[in-house]
């Protein structure tokens, strides 16, 4: 049977539409919306048949279910909440850090009303919007000065443009990293008008390598970069900030550190020894440290820079500073989060990324038991509480797992990837990973308030899967 014969067996649009209009859960949708949904589903099906991705026409129930889902989807905004059961705390595709409630409330206020963004109401004069965040950053890091921009890539760019345009930046060959989404550090440095003076080798860079480059190059700065999303093992070695700082000073050059995630906490007790606290990097002698606001720090997307006064002053004076200026919503989230960070014990309760990072195995096991109990039972599915491993993600502490607990779902009669697919197609989508033919719901990244939602999502997905024969989707 050729594609044209299969195409002829697709049900008529009018027929699907008539059946769909009888669905009481869709009665808020206009007939135009329903028609749009049916057309999209059928067009997609035709495309798959012509492209020979499938050689069967699904059952009419399946086409109806798909049309229903598409119609409801057309109502929804594309950017919407997701339940993250992957255990990856800083999942870049899922929006990195969720905000603390306090921070989200401040964002809402700044959004709904006029604010003191650039106004001092006591003196009745204009004010710099960055001051509150800068003062908090100075307090938290012990730096002389600080600044906030739109993201860490922008921070690095502004540092390069201001300090190294037309000159060379000395950097280890082991630190020319690609962060993800094809974002390469070297591109940012070059876009900033600097050229890269590579030193050392991929796996080892010694102090003498830097010395040689500084002696012969028209260098403007030394840049040290957090290895971010990869780990060097085996015969490796790098030169630390404590060794580079005196060298940079002897040449009168700034030592800049891109810390990547950036944290104010000592994470070594968690086994995350790759992450050095920002204040420590400064104490070791860095002249400027830049890091993200929405990675481990748990605030909004931002690039934060802490360091020497003369450097920060130069950054602020550069005309391009205006192009990377954070907006009031970001500043509201940042100020509230940094304020919480002043009290680490409280921050570990209130900032979600901190709470997730510091959840103990015992707490996570209890949570997994509770989630399993909330989910209940389903004929054809086996649920079990198991140990698992979470990741920090977001280029922090790669390859360093955090022991965690999960609810594992197994189905003897169904390809587990079909359940995984149905769960992420619900609203809100439930994103989970598959491990050894089991679906793993890692509780570390799930908010307790989402347990009941997960139960509904699982029930819906399972009903959909079991009410239509498993064989109907594919031929
Ligand atoms: C994540 C990361 C960046 C980019 O930060 P954004 O805030 O996403 O722009 C830059 N450098 C390093 C080392 C990183 O890990």
Ligand 1 pocket, residue 151 CB under 6 Å: yes
Residue 158 CA to ligand 1 center (angstroms) comes to 14
Q: DSSP code of 97?
A: P
**Looking at ligand 1, which atom is closest to the CA of residue 188?**
10
Binning pLDDT at 50, 70 and 90, where does residue 397 land?
low
- Cα–Cα distances in angstroms (integers) from residue 296 to residues 334, 367, 403, in the given order: 13, 22, 18
Q: Is the pLDDT of residue 232 over 90?
A: no
Binning pLDDT at 50, 70 and 90, where does residue 468 land?
low
Question: Which structure tokens are listed for 251?
Answer: 């040449």
Q: DSSP code of 266?
A: -
Mean pLDDT of 294-315: 97
Mean pLDDT of 427-445: 96
Q: Is the pLDDT of residue 461 over 50?
A: yes
Q: Determine how β-strand 178-180 pairs with β-strand 125-126.
A: unpaired
Mean pLDDT of 340-345: 97
Q: Is the pLDDT of residue 50 over 80?
A: yes
Ligand 1 pocket, residue 397 CB under 6 Å: no
Ranking 156-170, 247-261, 385-399, 444-458 by mean pLDDT, the lowest is 385-399
Q: What is the mean pLDDT of the chain?
A: 93
Mean pLDDT of 365-378: 98
The residue among 357, 187, 350 whose CA lies nearest residue 261 is 357
Going by alpha carbons, the residue nearest to atom 6 of ligand 1 is 152
pLDDT at residue 470, as a whole number:
46
Q: DSSP code of 223?
A: E
Helices 451-467/361-375 angle, 10° precision: 50
**Looking at ligand 1, which atom is closest to the CA of residue 394?**
1
Question: Which structure tokens are listed for 198?
Answer: 């590579």
**Looking at ligand 1, which atom is closest to the CA of residue 227?**
13
Mean pLDDT of 121-125: 97
Q: DSSP code of 435?
A: E
- Cα–Cα distances in angstroms (integers) from residue 110 to residues 107, 115, 298, 360, in the given order: 5, 6, 19, 35
Domains of the chain by start residue, with CATH: 3-75 (no CATH), 83-94+356-466 (3.90.1150.180), 101-350 (3.40.640.10)
pLDDT at residue 73, as a whole number:
84
Ligand 1 pocket, residue 228 CB under 6 Å: yes
Mean pLDDT of 336-344: 98
pLDDT at residue 472, as a whole number:
41
Ranking 174-183, 233-242, 433-442 by mean pLDDT, the lowest is 174-183
Q: Are 9 and 57 in contact (CB under 8 A)?
A: yes
Q: Cα(362)–Cα(90) distance, rounded to whole angstroms?
A: 22
Q: Is the peptide bond before 25 cis (omega within 30 degrees of 0)?
A: no
Q: Is the pLDDT of residue 471 over 60?
A: no
pLDDT at residue 2, as a whole number:
79
Ranking 242-256, 387-401, 460-474 by mean pLDDT, the lowest is 460-474
pLDDT at residue 282, as a whole number:
98
The residue among 317, 315, 249, 314 whose CA lies nearest residue 286 is 249
Phi and psi, residue 116, nearest 5°: -85, 25
pLDDT at residue 160, as a whole number:
98
Q: Cα(237)–Cα(240) distance, rounded to whole angstroms?
A: 9
pLDDT at residue 399, as a whole number:
67
**Looking at ligand 1, which atom is closest to the CA of residue 301?**
7
Binning pLDDT at 50, 70 and 90, where does residue 475 land?
very low
Mean pLDDT of 322-329: 98
Ranking 263-267, 373-377, 456-460 by mean pLDDT, the lowest is 263-267
């Amino acid at each position: 049977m050729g594609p044209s014969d299969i195409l002829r067996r697709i049900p008529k649009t009018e027929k699907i539409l008539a059946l769909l209009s009888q669905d009481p859960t869709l009665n808020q949708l206009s007939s135009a919306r329903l028609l749009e949904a049916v057309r999209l589903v059928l067009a997609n099906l035709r495309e798959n048949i012509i492209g020979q991705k499938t050689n069967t026409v699904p059952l009419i129930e399946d086409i109806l279910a798909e049309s229903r889902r598409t119609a409801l989807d057309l109502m929804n905004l594309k950017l919407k909440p997701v339940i993250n059961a992957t255990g990856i705390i800083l999942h870049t595709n899922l929006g990195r850090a969720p905000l603390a409630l306090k921070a989200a409330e401040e964002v809402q206020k700044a959004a709904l009303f006029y604010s003191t963004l650039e106004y001092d109401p006591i003196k009745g004069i204009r004010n710099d919007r960055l001051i509150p965040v800068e003062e908090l950053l100075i307090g938290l890091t012990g730096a002389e000065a600080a600044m906030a921009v739109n993201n860490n890539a922008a921070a690095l760019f502004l540092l390069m443009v201001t300090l190294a345009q037309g000159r060379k930046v000395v950097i280890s060959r082991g630190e020319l990293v690609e962060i993800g989404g094809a974002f390469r550090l070297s591109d940012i440095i070059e876009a900033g008008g600097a050229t890269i003076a590579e030193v050392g080798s991929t796996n080892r860079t010694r102090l003498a390598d830097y010395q040689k480059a500084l002696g012969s190059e028209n260098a403007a700065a030394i840049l040290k970069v957090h290895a971010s999303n990869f780990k060097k093992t085996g015969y490796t070695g790098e030169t630390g900030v404590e060794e580079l700082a005196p060298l940079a000073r002897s040449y009168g050059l700034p030592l800049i550190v891109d810390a990547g995630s950036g944290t104010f906490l000592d994470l070594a007790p968690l086994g995350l020894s790759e992450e050095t606290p920002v204040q420590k990097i400064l104490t070791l002698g860095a002249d400027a440290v830049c890091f993200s606001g929405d990675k481990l720090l748990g605030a909004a997307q931002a690039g934060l820079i802490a360091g020497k006064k003369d450097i920060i002053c130069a950054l602020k004076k550069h005309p391009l500073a205006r192009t990377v200026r954070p907006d009031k919503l970001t500043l509201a989230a940042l100020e509230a989060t940094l304020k919480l960070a002043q009290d680490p014990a409280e921050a570990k309760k209130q900032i979600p990324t901190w709470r997730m990072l510091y959840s103990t195995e015992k707490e996570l096991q209890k949570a997994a038991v509770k989630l399993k109990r909330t989910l209940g039972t389903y004929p054809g599915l086996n649920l079990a509480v198991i140990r698992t491993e979470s990741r920090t993600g977001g280029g922090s502490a790669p390859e360093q797992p955090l022991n965690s607990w999960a609810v594992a779902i197994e189905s003897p009669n169904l390809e587990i990837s079909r359940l995984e697919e149905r769960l992420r197609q619900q609203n809100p989508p439930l994103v989970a990973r598959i491990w050894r033919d089991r679906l793993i719901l890692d509780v570390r990244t799930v908010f307790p308030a989402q347990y009941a939602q997960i139960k509904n999502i699982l029930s819906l997905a399972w009903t959909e899967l079991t009410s239509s024969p498993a064989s109907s989707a594919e031929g």
